[in-house]
Structure 1
Amino acid sequence: METDKFKNLRYRLMETETWPLEYMFKFITPNHEGKVEQIKAILPDNGQFSFKHTSSLKHVAITCVATMKNADEIIEITERVDRIDGVLIL
Structure 2
Amino acid sequence: METDKYKNLRYRLMETNSWPLKYMFKFITPNEDGKVEQIKILLPANGKLSFKHTENLKHVSITCVAWMESADQIVEITEKVDGIDGVIVL
Q: Secondary structure at the match of 2:22?
A: strand
Relative to structure 1, the CA distance from residue 56 to residue 17 in structure 2 (aligned partners, 3 Å threshold; closer, same or farther) is farther
Q: In structure 2, what is the equivalent of residue 28 of structure 1?
A: 28
The residue type paired with residue 50 of structure 1 is S
Q: Secondary structure at the match of 1:56?
A: coil
Structure 2 counterparts to residues 8-87 of structure 1, below 5 A: 8-87=8-87
The residue type paired with residue 61 of structure 2 is A
Aligned residues: 90
Which sections of structure 2, spanning at least 5 residues, go unmatched? none
The residue type paired with residue 10 of structure 1 is R
Which sections of structure 1, spanning at least 5 residues, go unmatched? none
Supply the distance in 2 between the matched residues of 1:66 and 1:82 (Cα, whole angstroms): 18
Q: Secondary structure at the match of 2:14?
A: helix
Q: In structure 1, what is the equivalent of residue 88 of structure 2?
A: 88
Supply the distance in 2 between the matched residues of 1:41 and 1:32 (Cα, whole angstroms): 16
Q: Identity over aligned residues, as a percent?
A: 74
TM-score by length of 2: 0.97
The residue type paired with residue 79 of structure 2 is E
Supply the distance in 1 between the matched residues of 2:33 and 2:7 (Cα, whole angstroms): 30
1:16 Cα offset (Å): 3.4
TM-score by length of 1: 0.97
